[in-house]
Amino acid sequence: MRSLVAAFCLVLFAAPVAAETVNVKVGVLRETHARETLSILDIPAADDTLAGALMGAADNNTTGKFTNQTFEAIDARLEDGDDVVAALDALLDKGALFIIADLSAERLLAASERAKPKGAVLFNVSATDDRLRENDCRANVIHVAPTRSMLADGLAQYLIWKQWRRWLLIKGSHPDDELLAKAFRNSAKKFGAKVVEERVYEDTGGGRRSDSGSVQTQRQIPVLTQNAPAYDVLVAADENEVFGGYLPFRTWDPRPVAGSGGLMPTSWDASHEQWGALQLQNRFTQTFRRLMNARDNAAWLAMRMIGEAATRTGSNDPEKLRPYLLGNDFSIAAFKGVRLTLRPWNQQLRQPILLSDGRMIVSVSPQEGFLHQTSELDTLGADQPESKCKLK
Amino acid sequence: MQIEVKNAPSPPLPRCRGRGSRFGLSLLFAKRRSLASPLPRSGGGTGRGLLVAALLATLIAPAHAYKVYVSNEKGNSITVLDTEKLEATATVKVGRRPRGIALNKDGSELYICAGDDDAIQVLDTKTLKVTGKLPSGPDPELLALSPDGDVIYVSNENDNLVTLIDVKKKEMIGDIPVGVEPEGMAISPDGKLLVNTSETTNMAHLIDTQSKQIVANILVDGRPRFAEFKKDGSELWVSSEVGGTVAIIDPAKRELKQKISFDIPAMSKEAIQPIGISFTRDGKRAFVALGPANRVAVIDAETKKVEKYLLVGQRVWHLAFTPDEKYLLTANGVSNDVSVIDVASLKVVKSIPVGAFPWGVVVAPQ
């Protein structure tokens, strides 16, 4: 663990009422994400994720002036080999009973186990693994990040709306690429698309942003995509920044690309401006001098959920806040055009999925006509009847 | 991106003097800044002029054509409509991103929140020329006038402030820190109570206009965008766009009385997003714009029951009555038109094309 920074603030205004100030401490437990991205625009900043949490804390503190509550973000950043349990212990020692977790699935489960006896609640802001909401779901983990299946369904609904039903699926050679490919296969089945062929792009370790990269890539991608059966759209499953971004404009057949390149499903994008999102983007850019990514946004939203629950319950006790968040009274505005709520059976935040080409939001799913008896947002991802989650 | 630091009379966030807070400090010392050219955003409430005065004036005036002003958020213009011909008679280019608009007491001047110009512009309604501007602080969105017409209260969305402007002297005379993303503004008929709604804090802030202090903060449902007093001051209604409800507040007791929710067959709950609210003069009926549900709800303001939903243009935001209450006009943000509702028959009788992204609508007293 490199740093354990307490980003905190003593609020100095005179309290308007005599009631005691309630302080809500929130740990930000975050992994260091790889800098080896295909596009330099995607290289994570030093305050990746943390910045969103700080923005959320500032929003909550403005509200807290009127409710006599203060919010504090405590940063714990992990390097590759660092022990997540030790970092969590340090946060718990500082009194943080709410943890914004930007962690891989394995680390998240280890942190959940450790947090259990202390009664702390974790907010998963980056792990998209479906298993964390299914067989491996945990009662003390609330999922703000969407699942792979939600992202895949969000994309699939749009491709169906476009009548692009024949997909050429190309996946990377890493285990998580297969998980994403599986989500795309399931979405195809669910909404009536057909995977006409599946191919693998082997990660041989070369290429990324090297001097001769564009020359190499320009030759490799047509070879990868030639002799394919007739297809409407290439769907890429690459979670490791190996080839997804290289696909558009380089395929053998002139076809659009979606998934991990081209049209990408995401929970947030810096180009999203609808429904007042511009206000949040502006506030973020003015404060942190960079654009807000999906992890920053999820951390902001997690902090806002904690703030909303603290405001409505007048408490900082996880045993009061968690039931409120899972109850019928909770909903939160997140600049997505609709209120967001939690799926009580697996503690996953319901949310629209943005489809971004990297410069613009092309569409937002759920698409018109995809109906559901409870909430149209539940047409995205695994639904209650198929859930394997037993919260404990 | 060019980022300009403006004069900073009052930072919106609580000042932090903690040491070693390398992230917190930069955040909490955030000054009043404005991006060089922020893009437009959707939605919001509109400022109302002196509707009460306007309505009184019509008691003696014969029924005739009224002038309607519509702000076009992305058109950077004001469209003028005539209620006799039910058509546009003029389009006036104004500042960038005009949203909240309000008329002065005699209808001779229209105040326009030009958000991207960080000012309130003054439009002479006779000549249809912009004659000057009032200092509003950055990104003014919505405004309310004191009943005597001397003070404008404006919400500064990016700064978590309500700014007070002396209309005659054209000066800022103070500001009041409120919650995150202040938007809705309304003033009680007696001028004593100002209400501001903050969209991310989810509160209605009740402000004493004499002391300029917040006297109560009332939690409402998600993303409150607009506030309106009944003409007799007995009730304050606040619409929550994302929560999907209208909160009814007792301004004397300063507490929430009840909430109204909406149910439209075959429409998802999430699509019902109340924004603009207008009351008839007798206080018996309320009209609530439901945003992307493309409908206006007609509510019995006494029993609080929804009587009817009227289909209007797409993404209906704000509403205004003609002074004789013959028509209710709605600004429809996505279909770029104004729907005309005949109040007696509760029928939509016409839609009038206006500029891009119509946002606010007001009607002149004569």
* A67 shares its domain with A141: yes
Q: What is the pLDDT of residue A16?
A: 43
Is pLDDT at B44 greater than 50 in this prediction?
no
CATH of the domain at B350: 2.130.10.10
Q: What is the pLDDT of residue B24?
A: 38
Whether A267 has its CB under 8 Å from any CB of chain B: the answer is no
In chain B, the number of structural domains is 1
Residue A385 lies in a domain: no
Residue A232 lies in a domain: yes
User: Domain end: A266, A288, A310, which one?
Assistant: A266
Residue B34 lies in a domain: no
Percent of chain B with pLDDT over 70: 83
Give per-residue pLDDT as tens, B259-274. 999 999 888 888 899 9
Residue A330 in contact with residue A153, Cβ under 8 Å? no
8 Å CB contact of B35 and A7: no
* A118 shares its domain with A249: no
Tokens standing for residue B304: 């609080």
* A225 shares its domain with A249: yes
Going across the sheet that includes B327-332, the strands are B316-321, B327-332, B337-342, B347-353
Burial of A41 (0-12, 13-18, 19+ CB in 10 A): exposed
* A235 shares its domain with A329: no
In chain A, the number of structural domains is 2
Interface test with A, best of B200, B213, B221 (most A CBs within 10 A): B200
Is pLDDT at B287 greater than 70 in this prediction?
yes
Residue A360 lies in a domain: no
Residue A138 lies in a domain: yes
Give per-residue pLDDT as tens, B159-218. 899 999 999 999 999 999 999 999 999 999 999 999 999 999 999 999 999 999 999 999
Which parts of chain A register pLDDT below 50? 1-18
Residue A377 lies in a domain: no
Alpha-carbon distance of A45 to A41, in angstroms, equals: 10
More confident residue, B60 or A83: A83
* A260 shares its domain with A159: yes
* A246 shares its domain with A230: yes
Residue B8 lies in a domain: no
Q: Which amino acid is at B55?
A: L
Residues spanned by the domain of B188:
47-359
- From A57's Cα to the closest Cα of chain B, the distance in A is 9
8 Å CB contact of B30 and A377: no
Interface test with B, best of A3, A10, A23, A289 (most B CBs within 10 A): A10
Which residue from B3, B24, B270 is facing A286, i.e. has the nearest CB?
B3
- From B306's Cα to the closest Cα of chain A, the distance in A is 22
Residue A357 lies in a domain: no
Residue A26 in contact with residue A74, Cβ under 8 Å? yes
Alpha-carbon distance of B135 to B164, in angstroms, equals: 10
Interface of A with B in 275-294 (CB under 8 A): 275-279, 282-283, 285-288
Going by pLDDT thresholds of 50, 70 and 90, the confidence category of residue B25 is very low
* A198 shares its domain with A215: yes
* A215 shares its domain with A274: no
Is pLDDT at B59 greater than 70 in this prediction?
no
User: Domain end: A216, A250, A266, which one?
Assistant: A266
Residue B18 lies in a domain: no
Q: What is the pLDDT of residue B13?
A: 37
User: Domain end: A203, A238, A266, which one?
Assistant: A266
8 Å CB contact of B33 and A58: no
More confident residue, B158 or A193: A193
Residues spanned by the domain of A32:
3-146+269-351
Going by pLDDT thresholds of 50, 70 and 90, the confidence category of residue B64 is low
Which residue from A75, A282, A311 is facing B219, i.e. has the nearest CB?
A311
Alpha-carbon distance of B109 to B286, in angstroms, equals: 27
Determine the residue of chain B that is closest to A337 in CA distance: B242
- From A372's Cα to the closest Cα of chain B, the distance in A is 9
Give per-residue pLDDT as tens, B310-326. 999 999 999 999 999 99
* A16 shares its domain with A141: yes
Q: What is the pLDDT of residue B158?
A: 84
* A274 shares its domain with A258: no
* A118 shares its domain with A222: no
Number of H helices, E strands in chain A: 9, 17
Residue B262 lies in a domain: yes
Whether A58 has its CB under 8 Å from any CB of chain B: the answer is yes
Q: What is the pLDDT of residue A20?
A: 87
Axis crossing angle, helix A294-313 with helix A318-326, rounded to the nearest 10: 110
Residue B40 lies in a domain: no
Predicted TM-score (pTM) of the model is 0.85
8 Å CB contact of B214 and A66: yes
Residue B230 lies in a domain: yes
8 Å CB contact of A63 and B201: yes
Is pLDDT at B33 greater than 90 in this prediction?
no
Tokens standing for residue A331: 């909903």
Alpha-carbon distance of B342 to A259, in angstroms, equals: 50
CATH of the domain at A282: 3.40.50.2300
* A20 shares its domain with A131: yes
Give per-residue pLDDT as tens, B288-317. 999 999 999 999 999 999 999 999 999 999
Is pLDDT at B17 greater than 60 in this prediction?
no
Is pLDDT at B333 greater than 80 in this prediction?
yes
Average pLDDT, chain B: 85
Q: Which residues of A touch B268 (CB under 8 A)?
A: 375-376
Q: What is the pLDDT of residue B14?
A: 34
